Structure 1
Amino acid sequence: MLVNKSVSNQAGQLPEAKSAVSDNISADLQDIWQKICAGLRRDLGAQIFGQWIKPLKLSAFDSNTGTLLLILPSEFAANWVRDRYAERLLLAWKTHCPEVRNLALQAQSGAAKIAQASPLNGANAVVTPSQHNIAPESKFRLDLDPRMTFDQFVAGHSNVLALNAAQRTAAAEKPLFCPLYLQSSTGQGKSHLMHAIGHAFREEFPASTIIYMSAERFMIEFVSAMRRNEGMEFKASLREADLLMIDDIQFIVGKNSTQEEFLHTVDSLISQGKRVVVAADRPPQALDGVDQRLLSRLSMGLVADIQSAGLELRRDILKHRLATMPHQQVSEEVVEFLARTISRNLRELEGGLNKLLAYAQLTGREISRELAEEQLSDILSACRRRITIDEIQRTVCEYYRLDRNEMSSKRRARAVARPRQVAMYLAKVMTPRSYPEIGRKFGGRDHSTVIHAVKLVEQLRGEDSEMDNDVRMLLRQLES
Structure 2
Amino acid sequence: MSDRESSNDGISAEDQKRWERVRERLRAELGDAVYNSWFTRLELERLASETAHLTVPTKFLKSWVQSHYATRIKARVSGEFKGVERVIIDVRSSARKARARDSGSEKDSEATPILNVAEKTPAPFDAGMDSLNAAAPRRAPRTPGMRGESDSVMGSPLDRRLSFSTFLVGPSNQLAYAAACRVAEARPGETPMFNPLYAHAAVGLGKTHLLQALAHATNDNRRRAVYLTAERFMSGFVSSLNNQTSLAFKERLRAIDMLIIDDVQFLQGKSIQQEFCHTLNALIDAGRQVVVAADRPPSDLETLDERVLSRFKGGLCVDIGPLDESLRVKILQARIAAAQETQPGFHVPPDVISYVARTILTNGRDLEGAVNRLLAHVTLNGAPLTVETAETAIRDLVRTQEPRRVKIDDIQKLVASHYNISRADILSSRRTANVVRPRQIAMYLSKQLTLRSLPEIGRRFGGRDHTTVLHAVRKIEELVAKDKGLAEVIELLRRILSEQ
Classify the TM-score, shorter chain. 0.5 to 0.7
Paired with 2:95 and 2:181, the residues of 1 have a C-alpha distance of 32
Q: Which residue of 2 aligns with 1:427?
A: none
Q: Which residue of 1 aligns with 2:390?
A: 372
Question: What percentage of aligned pairs have identical amino acids?
Answer: 38
Alpha-carbon distance change, 186 to 213 in structure 1, aligned in 2, over 3 angstroms: same
Give every structure 1 segment of 4 or more consecutive aligned residues whose post-TM-superposition deviation is greater than 6 Å.
41-45, 48-51, 81-91
Q: Which residue of 2 aligns with 1:209?
A: 224
Alpha-carbon distance change, 129 to 180 in structure 1, aligned in 2, over 3 angstroms: same
8 Å contact from structure 1 (residues 138, 237) kept in 2: no
Residues 106-144 of structure 1 show CA distances to partners (whole Å, capped at 9, x for unaligned) of x9xxxxxxxxxxxxxxxxxx9655444564354214411
Q: Which residue of 2 aligns with 1:188?
A: 205
Higher gyration radius (CA): 1
Alpha-carbon distance change, 320 to 289 in structure 1, aligned in 2, over 3 angstroms: same
8 Å contact from structure 1 (residues 133, 233) kept in 2: no
1:220 equivalent to 2:238? Answer no
Q: Which residue of 2 aligns with 1:169?
A: 183
Paired with 1:266 and 1:91, the residues of 2 have a C-alpha distance of 34
Q: Which residue of 1 aligns with 2:159?
A: 145
1:157 equivalent to 2:168? Answer no
Q: How many residues align?
A: 289
Return 5+ residue gaps in structure 1 as ranges. 1-37, 52-80, 94-106, 108-125, 387-480
1:390-469 correspondence to structure 2 within 5 Å: none
Paired with 1:345 and 1:267, the residues of 2 have a C-alpha distance of 34
Paired with 1:335 and 1:319, the residues of 2 have a C-alpha distance of 8
TM (normalized to structure 1)? Answer: 0.53
Paired with 1:346 and 1:217, the residues of 2 have a C-alpha distance of 24
Instruction: Give the AA of the match of 2:284.
Output: I
C-alpha deviation, 1:227, in angstroms = 2.4
8 Å contact from structure 1 (residues 342, 383) kept in 2: no
8 Å contact from structure 1 (residues 225, 234) kept in 2: yes
C-alpha deviation, 1:48, in angstroms = 7.6
- Root-mean-square deviation (CA, aligned residues, Å) is 3.8
8 Å contact from structure 2 (residues 146, 245) kept in 1: no
1:346 equivalent to 2:364? Answer yes
Alpha-carbon distance change, 302 to 384 in structure 1, aligned in 2, over 3 angstroms: closer
Alpha-carbon distance change, 243 to 84 in structure 1, aligned in 2, over 3 angstroms: farther
Paired with 2:142 and 2:194, the residues of 1 have a C-alpha distance of 36
1:197 equivalent to 2:214? Answer yes
Paired with 1:47 and 1:178, the residues of 2 have a C-alpha distance of 31
Instruction: Give the AA of the match of 2:387.
Output: R
1:315-394 correspondence to structure 2 within 5 Å: 315-324=329-338, 327=344, 328-380=346-398, 382-383=399-400
Paired with 1:91 and 1:189, the residues of 2 have a C-alpha distance of 36
1:269 equivalent to 2:283? Answer yes
C-alpha deviation, 1:87, in angstroms = 6.5
Alpha-carbon distance change, 284 to 92 in structure 1, aligned in 2, over 3 angstroms: closer
Return 5+ residue gaps in structure 2 as ranges. 1-19, 27-33, 42-91, 97-107, 116-122, 124-139, 404-500
Paired with 1:134 and 1:228, the residues of 2 have a C-alpha distance of 10
C-alpha deviation, 1:279, in angstroms = 0.5
Paired with 2:337 and 2:323, the residues of 1 have a C-alpha distance of 20
Paired with 2:321 and 2:151, the residues of 1 have a C-alpha distance of 37
Paired with 1:133 and 1:232, the residues of 2 have a C-alpha distance of 12
Paired with 1:230 and 1:211, the residues of 2 have a C-alpha distance of 19
8 Å contact from structure 1 (residues 342, 384) kept in 2: no
Give secondary structure in 2 for the equivalent of 1:246: strand
Paired with 1:49 and 1:271, the residues of 2 have a C-alpha distance of 40
Alpha-carbon distance change, 211 to 49 in structure 1, aligned in 2, over 3 angstroms: farther
